[in-house]
Amino acid sequence: MFFFSALFAQEETAVLKTLTGNIEGTLLIPEQKTNIPVVLIISGSGPTDRNGNQDEMENNSLKMLAEQFNKIGVASLRYDKRGIGQSSEVSNKDEMEMRIETFMEDVRSWIDLLAADKRFSKIIVAGHSEGSLLGMVASVNNKKVKGFISIAGAGRPADEVIKEQLSTAPDEIKNKMYEMLDKLKRGDSLGDVPPFFYALFRPTIQPYMKSWLKYNPQDEIKKLNMPVLILNGDKDIQVGTKDAELLAKANPKAQLKIIKGMNHVLKTCDTLDKKIQISTTYNNPSLPLNEELCKEIATFMTAFIEPTSPKMKK
């Protein structure tokens, strides 16, 4: 069950009621409030909220993305995932019960919510980072979804991505983590986990990790029979352009756009230096989105906007 409550003319609070509590989001509505497409924006991994921020990282990337859709006459819904932001109380009491499928089912429920709202003509799903995989799986064989946008989405199973991120770690640490990842990939549980590795391998998170590692984004995106746009920046220090290329290869009908000078938080930068990026773009809420990203999204969305929309009139 779910309901909307208006905050002001163009923004509403969206609430999705689940068995374990309410999930909260923001619905942004353009001036033309009916017969318009709507985009469901799904945030990435970790404690990332609906705006693209974390406790010690504010860039407002997803808030700006919603505002960009608004500029072209498209509505959007972005939300705080379970355990995050205003949805912080929504989580299974026992972490052992959490699975990635739980988050995928939430995406499907948001899609159902939007489909029931007569103001919207078409639903497009846009997933950022880990949200790309969530959106893919929820969109497969879902007739309510008319298009999909992958933004900085991984093109490989999570264990391969994590191993690449760990490649520069000291051998003793790297080899131990590789071994633990391989065991979880096989479906095995880990015994005594040293405290140093608890963030990723604590006993209570292992069932979730197992459920996550079994998905290959290439297998999922090839199942999508709808317009697909794959976006990735060449300055992304978290998900490289080869991931976008793998996704495009798996779904040859998809549009692939590698955006020069864009990083993982969708901002413009001219370096792959992690420290510089974090200090200048990951924590800069005033820095606008990359302009080329905005152009590519606007072009892709023209296929979903009704010709009678004021935004489309010549």
pLDDT digits (tens, 9 = 90+) for 95-120: 888 899 999 999 999 999 999 999 99
Q: What is the pLDDT of residue 4?
A: 44
Residue 8 has pLDDT above 50, yes or no: no
41 is a domain residue? yes
30 is a domain residue? yes
308 is a domain residue? no
Domain extent, residue 176, equals 158-214
83 and 150 share one domain: yes
256 and 119 share one domain: yes
pLDDT digits (tens, 9 = 90+) for 208-262: 999 999 999 999 999 999 999 999 999 999 999 999 999 999 999 999 999 999 9
Q: Considering only CA atoms, which of 144, 121, 116, 111 is closest in space to residue 42?
A: 111
Share of the chain above pLDDT 90, in %: 81
83 and 70 share one domain: yes
Phi, psi of 289, deg, nearest 5: -65, 155
Residue 52 has pLDDT above 50, yes or no: yes
Mean pLDDT of 12-36: 92
CATH of the domain at 35: 3.40.50.1820
202 and 222 share one domain: no
221 and 199 share one domain: no
60 and 172 share one domain: no
Q: Which pLDDT band holds residue 313 (cuts at 50, 70, 90)?
A: very low
Token reading at 184: 């979880």
Mean pLDDT of 54-60: 94
Residue 7 has pLDDT above 80, yes or no: no
Rounded to the nearest integer, the mean pLDDT of the chain is 92
265 and 231 share one domain: yes
Q: Which of these three, 192, 214, 236, is where a domain ends?
A: 214
pLDDT digits (tens, 9 = 90+) for 263-292: 999 999 999 999 999 999 999 999 999 999
Residue 314 has pLDDT above 50, yes or no: no
Q: Which pLDDT band holds residue 93 (cuts at 50, 70, 90)?
A: low
Q: What is the pLDDT of residue 2?
A: 46
Mean pLDDT of 25-32: 93
251 and 286 share one domain: yes
Question: Which residues lie closer than 8 Å to 167 by C-beta, 6 or more apart?
Answer: 174
Q: What is the pLDDT of residue 20?
A: 86
152 and 176 share one domain: no
Q: Which residue has the tokens 């992690």?
A: 274
38 is a domain residue? yes
11 is a domain residue? yes
pLDDT digits (tens, 9 = 90+) for 165-185: 899 999 999 999 999 999 999
Q: What is the pLDDT of residue 311?
A: 52
Concatenating the DSSP letter of every residue in 185-228 gives HTTPPP-S--GGGHHHH-TTTHHHHHHHHT--HHHHHTT--S-E
314 is a domain residue? no
151 and 162 share one domain: no
Q: What is the pLDDT of residue 308?
A: 56
202 and 70 share one domain: no
Q: What is the pLDDT of residue 282?
A: 97
Q: What is the pLDDT of residue 5?
A: 41
Q: What is the Cα–Cα distance from 53 to 28, expressed in whole angstroms?
A: 18
166 and 228 share one domain: no
Total tally of structural domains belonging to the chain: 2
307 is a domain residue? no
Residue 9 has pLDDT above 50, yes or no: no
